[in-house]
Structure formats: C-alpha cells, structure tokens
Structure 1
C-alpha cells in the first residue's frame, strides 16, 4: 500500500553508522592516550580505531549521496536544512580558530618576563613570511578563485569546465600541503620551543588539517562532477565544499598577516 507523504522533509532510515562511528572514535581516543603513555597495544588500537572511523565516514556519506542523487530525497526543504547545518558547522570551526588566535594574541601582546618580555621570544629564529608562507598564500588564493570558477561553471551547466576547475583546485591544495610539510621539516624551532612554538604549530597545524579535509571534500566533488551527480539546480554537496574551502582561505589570510608577518616581526 502506498503511503502518501504530506511534507517535503526526509525522515532518514535507521542507520548503524552513527553508533559505529561513535565507538570507533572512542577506541581511537583510548588508543591515542595509551600510545602517548607508552602502554602496550596503544598504537594498534589507535590505528584500528582511525581506520574503522574512516570506513564509517565513507559508508555513511555514501548513503547520503545515494539519498540526494539517486533517490531524490533531498528536496528544497531538505537542502535548506542542510545549508543551515553547514553554516553552523563552519561557524563552529571559526570559533575554534578564534580560540587559537586568542591564545596567540594573549601571549604575543603582553609577553611575560619568562620569554624575555619580547615577541618573538628571545633566542627564537622566525620563518621569513615572504618565502614559503607568501607562496602558499598565492596558492590558496588561486585555489579559491578556481573553486569559484567551478561553481559558476556548474551554474551554467558546463560540467566539463567545472571538472577542470576542480582538478586545478585539488592540485593547488596538494601543492600547498606539500610546501607546508616542507616548512615544518625545515623550521628552526619546534612545538616544544615555548609558547611561540606551541601557538605557531597549533594554529598552522590545525589549519593544515582543515586543508587536508577540504582537499578530500573537493576531490570527492571532482569525482561526482565527472559522474554527473550535480546539475545546475542541485549541487549542494559542491556548495558545502566551496563554502568550507573559502573559510580555509580566509583563516589562512589571518594566519599569514598575524602569525607569520606581525608575529615574526
């Protein structure tokens, strides 16, 4: 018997993935604590939990893609709710970086006598902002332009052009990550170099983690564009990735100006 639906909302089917992801995250956290305290089996539990968590994300988001692309369950009302959810998620990420910048400015605007009363602290050799950091700034700004190019191509029903623009974006993001890793290996200080090293690696490291997540997000969108999952009026998955990437771009600009340029002056 057919059941009439009197609302435009999608009531999700029962799914094992939320509880699956929760337990795998718990195992990963316990493994991380055990590993950091040199307990036997900690590393194995950490890696196993991380792999299971990654698998649960893949199959969970696979189901979401099926709902929106093949089952037609992501109506206009559902997409509106998803937009609100992504906006709130991005705002929560912004507040995370606000807290990190708060720690940086708390330490740099009023340096204590323990670090010589100056910022950068006495004895710290800083990174030249006009070398790799400036190059990475150009790379991220260019990737922001290319992801906007991809968005406009989708709105014009030019999927081939959107595909090429996304490839450019993903390649630029990978190059950025490579330069960031090189900078870390060549840095004249470490995360253990007092408050300067802690705030530097915390802020740039969290941003780098977001770049990796955004790169994966955009890579999946590239595959979906190639497979024809998106159309002119139905491409919220890509919009969410583009919003996230623009947030990553803006945060980097603050990092370059505040941490690299002003913080290293």
Structure 2
C-alpha cells in the first residue's frame, strides 16, 4: 500500500484581494506622479496615492507572511509544501530577472540602435532634416532637442560612490552566505552576526544611493526629465534601489525571527528564500555597475 504526504490547504484568505488592490493603487499613483512631473504640474496627488498603495502593500505582506509563519510554526507544512515554496520563490525570482531584462534591453536598444539612427545611420534623410547638427555619443549629453529635453551637465562617475556600493553589495553576499552556513550548523551566533552585518551593508548602500541621487539632481541636472539617459539611469537604478529596500526589510524580518528562536538546521526556507532574493539583487547591481556606470 503506497503512502502519500499530506498537503496543507489553507482556509479562504483576504490577502490576495488586498494585494491586488494595493498593487493597482501603487502603480496608478506612481504613473500619475511621473506624468505630473513630466507636465511640470505644481501639485500632484500621485505621491499621496503611491504612498497609500505602499502602505497597503506593507500591511498585506505583514499579515500574509505572518499567517504563513504561524502555519509553519504549527507544523502544518509537509516536505511537499516546502518544495512548493521553493518552486514559488524560484519562479518569482525568474519573473524579476525578466523585469530587469526588459529595462536592460531598452538600454541596449536605445544605446546601440536608436542613438545611431538619430545621427543618420539608416535614416540619413529624416535625421538631417530634423537635427542636422546632432552627433550621437553615449552617455547622451547633447540631446537632439535640448530646448524640450535639456541635457544634464554630467553623469555619475563609476569609480566613486557606485564602486563603493558595488563593494558593499558583493561583501554583503559573502556575509549572508556565512550567516547561512552558520544556520546549517546550528551556530545561531554566527547567523546573527552575519545577518546583522549584511543589514548594515545594505543600509549603507541605500544611504549612499540617496546621496548619489541628490548630487545628480542638484549639481548635475541629471533627472528623469533630462532626456533618455536620465530616464534609463533612474529607471534601472531606482527599481534596483527599491529591490534593495525590499531585501533589507526581508532580512530584517529574518533576523527578528532568528532572535525569537525560529528556524533550525533542517527547516529554514524563510531564511533561504530571503537569501536567494538578496543574491539576485547583488547580481543585478553588478550588471548595472558595468553597463550603466562603466561602459
């Protein structure tokens, strides 16, 4: 007679509906915010709508993940459920890979195809009539229509704050891996120290990125409205910064759980899933550093 593993089926939940509404409000607020910035409107409801949506997302995540933690601690999950969590996290990270691939694809398309076309490559007649004096070079500091899209005075150099942030994130991957090895050996002190160091490095990264943005806006004129280079720069680095923020929040929750005695050497996928996410964010930053700042 064959035996089958039990599979926990949760009760009906309000969290998926709240998540859907929260994402809708957040994206609508962000879109309104960007459109109002582009139109130079003095007042905009976009930021308020965006932050309301962000608060709803935070509420949803706290409640939904809290329910999952309670179910896990109650011993309701089987090995089959653990595999489901692993597949779910794997597909989630894959979707994030596709998300950033789209933005990197836009960057490469603009840089290697659209820019040369504006300079006459493949469409000499049209470009000569529209912008006869335009010469393409990347980063684009001489926009074809500088009156409509004023170009920035300069760009962020790769070997200053971006290099420091690269070192911080690469180091954080090592400290997080060290913490993970400690958990596998039931060395909770090692796990706590490694995870705390990782959080400090992540927080410093965010502070330095905020300083970089302030410098770009106030001293270089590098903004979302400063042409295609500014748009691609802030979309890539801004979304990455949002992912680092999410990673810091996730790892903070993991540290709190470890301090409360959660996880052991055999059962710690919550920690492992957060680690996967953090390593993914680190790899994306290396791509950003190379293709946005260096090349």
TM-score over 0.5 for the alignment? Answer: yes
Match of 1:149 among 154, 178, 203: 178
**Does the CA-based 8 Å contact 2:179-2:192 persist in structure 1?**
yes
Unaligned runs of 5+ in 1: none
SS at match of 2:8: coil
> Does the 8 Å CA contact 2:23/2:57 hold for their aligned counterparts?
yes
Q: Which deviations, in whole Å up to 9, do the C-alpha atoms of 1:56-112 show, x marking residues without a partner?
A: 2211110011111x2112221111111011011101101111111111111112323
1:106 aligns with 2:109: yes
**Normalising by the residue count of structure 1, what TM-score does the alignment of the two structures yield?**
0.89
Q: Does 1:76 align with 2:79?
A: yes
SS at match of 1:7: coil
In 1, the alpha carbon distance for the partners of 2:187 and 2:209 equals 33
Deviations 1:21-73 (A, max 9, x none): 323333444555666557986655544343233212211110011111x2112
Superposed, which structure 2 residues align to 1:231-242 within 5 Å?
A: 231-242=264-275
Equivalent of 2:139, from 105, 114, 120?
120
Tell which has more relative contact order, 1 or 2 (C-alpha 8 A, sep 6+).
1
* Higher Rg: 2
Q: Residue deviations 1:201-260, cap 9 Å, x none?
A: 111111111100011011100111111111000000010011011101111111111110
Q: Is the 2:8–2:77 Cα contact (8 Å) retained in structure 1?
A: yes
Deviates more, 1:72-81 or 1:139-148: 72-81
| Residues 59-98 of structure 1 mapped to structure 2, 5 A cutoff | 59-68=63-72, 70-98=73-101
Residue 282 (structure 2) aligned to one of 240, 245, 249 = 249
1:54 alignment partner in structure 2: 58
Is 2:180 the partner of 1:182?
A: no
Q: CA separation of 1:74/1:255 partners in 2, compared to 1, >3 Å: closer, same or farther?
A: same
Q: What is the CA–CA distance in structure 2 between the aligned matches of 1:47 and 1:214, rounded to whole Å?
A: 19
Residues 1:41 and 1:137: Cα distance change in structure 2 (over 3 Å): closer
TM-score by length of 2: 0.81
Which residue in the other structure is 2:148 paired with? none
Partners of 1:107 and 1:27 lie apart in 2 by 30
Q: CA RMSD in A?
A: 2.2
Contact 2:5–2:80 (Cα < 8 Å) also in 1? no
Does the aligned pair in 2 maintain the 1:116–1:122 contact within 8 Å?
no
Q: How does 1:13-24 map to 2 (within 5 A)?
A: 13-24=11-22
Query: How many residue pairs are counted as aligned between the two chains?
Result: 257
1:170 aligned residue (187, 191, 199): 199
Seen in structure 2, the aligned counterparts of structure 1 residues 157 and 40 have a Cα distance that, compared at 3 Å, is closer
Distance in 1 (alpha carbons) for counterparts of 2:288 and 2:32: 33
The structural deviation recorded for 1:158 is: 0.6
* 1:223 alignment counterpart: 256
